[in-house]
Amino acid sequence: MGKPTGFIEYPRELPADRAPLERIGDWKEFHLHFRQEAQSRTQGARCMECGIPFCMTGKMLPGGASGCPVNNLIPEWNDMIYRGLWKEAYERLRMTNNFPEFTGRVCPAPCEGSCTLGLSEPAVTIKLNEVTIIDKAFEQGWIQPSPPETRSGRKVAVVGSGPAGLACADQLNKAGHEVTVYERADRIGGLLMYGIPNMKLDKQAVVQRRVDLMAAEGIHFVTGMEVGKAISTAQLRQDFDAIVLCAGATQARDLPAPGREADGVHLAMEFLTLNTRSLLDSDLEDGRYISARDKDVVVIGGGDTGTDCVATSIRHGCRSLIQLEIMPRLPDERAATNPWPEWPMIYRVDYGQEEAEALFGADPREYLVSTRKFVADENGRLKAIHTISVKWEQDADGRMNLVEIPGTEKVLPAQLVLLAMGFTGPEKTLIDALQLETDPRGNVKAEYGSHATSLEGVFAAGDMRRGQSLIVWAINEGRQAARECDRYLMGETFLP
């Protein structure tokens, strides 16, 4: 341990983000780095090197997840940052995480929620330290294509190029298998490419850089190819020795309220995907996206996707913006039912709300609000929505029920409504084509750890198996599925 008293001497410090009113004028990443290396080393020194580092456990507790799902060796590389051993820190980091440049930017950092120092002081800046290591590794040229020295002669198809698919492909390629990744979109990356806006995760400088590196290491990428439609699953099973399904949980939760068919009501992912595609294709010059310019925008849903819709609408130049949540506002501090080391379910102001407050003067979120109907004009275009305030009440059986509050009806002007209410599970085309067993939630049935589906030689990982989750859990599952697929192909495995 380099600095035994570091956590006592140094406060938590983060580099300031770009100012909200500045960054809403472009699509560049808004997070900045420390200007001086000494600042990063000081933050590394705050790690306590505690005897039981919950930050790296990645356990599922009764109240939720705890710690890093990929079991990053956090105390080790924090100590190396403090000592200035950056290359050694990178070597430790890459042992557990295939893509620190992704998680270091967009992961909510469950590791920090389980930091021992967080019991009494602000947690160690684990997420910042992680992205600082990997960005320095790229800057210094330590990361170069490293294809396997020998090939196994086995061929594996990975369906889906999100974080689970990419992690799985990366591991299987390291094991010497010939890997082909199939993606139905026009670019590789899945959620990383089209589900997360550019200002959070730069597509060319960060995502495409990693894809190009993987291609240079021998992984084959096929875009515009939807398995089960453009290519049959029978053909895939004939051409490959094994298949790993990592197609995500992309079936969005809709809101079947009266007037849903109005022109101007869209699913969040349609809005975000079209925006990023147009941005990459033409810097939004082609007009092939859903614009929020000069519109009253209502975002329904309070998660990360809702926040991304808020920030994207602001960059378009919306006239007004409201974000509706059906749940109550979270507490400012942990509730007694949400103890450390669980992820703290507390009130936060994310980048989109920060930008809305800077632009419009207030946090755009309204809590405990339900949408009753959408209203269109004579041309079928959305003009308003009707809402009502609600409360949650517990019945005699202990179930929580949503109850409308009479007299709280409102009519909100809206020409664009974005539905960001999460996802219900994977789409069924691929599942039906392979006639796979599913669990009660409609996900592909495959035990965690083995990842084997009901069809021999076919594995499943990520959101398609576990349901909507975090990028870091997807990487965890992609790595595990790769290990079990390798074991299936070779009879043993040396993958972690």
The answer to whether 38 and 6 have CB atoms below 8 angstroms apart is: no
Q: Tell me the pTM.
A: 0.96
Please give the domain boundaries of the chain with CATH numbers for all domains: 6-139 (1.10.1060.10), 155-250+424-490 (3.50.50.60), 254-421 (3.50.50.60)
pLDDT tens for each residue of the chain, 496 residues long: 668 899 999 999 999 999 999 999 999 999 999 989 999 999 999 998 888 899 999 888 876 778 999 999 999 999 999 999 999 999 999 999 999 999 999 999 999 999 999 999 999 999 999 999 999 999 999 999 999 999 999 999 999 999 999 999 999 999 999 999 999 999 999 999 999 999 999 999 999 999 999 999 999 999 999 999 999 999 999 999 999 999 999 999 999 999 999 999 999 999 999 999 999 999 999 999 999 999 999 999 999 999 999 999 999 999 999 999 999 999 999 999 999 999 999 999 999 999 999 999 999 999 999 999 999 999 999 999 999 999 999 998 889 999 999 999 999 999 999 999 999 999 999 999 999 999 999 999 999 999 999 999 999 999 999 999 999 999 999 999 999 999 999 999 999 9
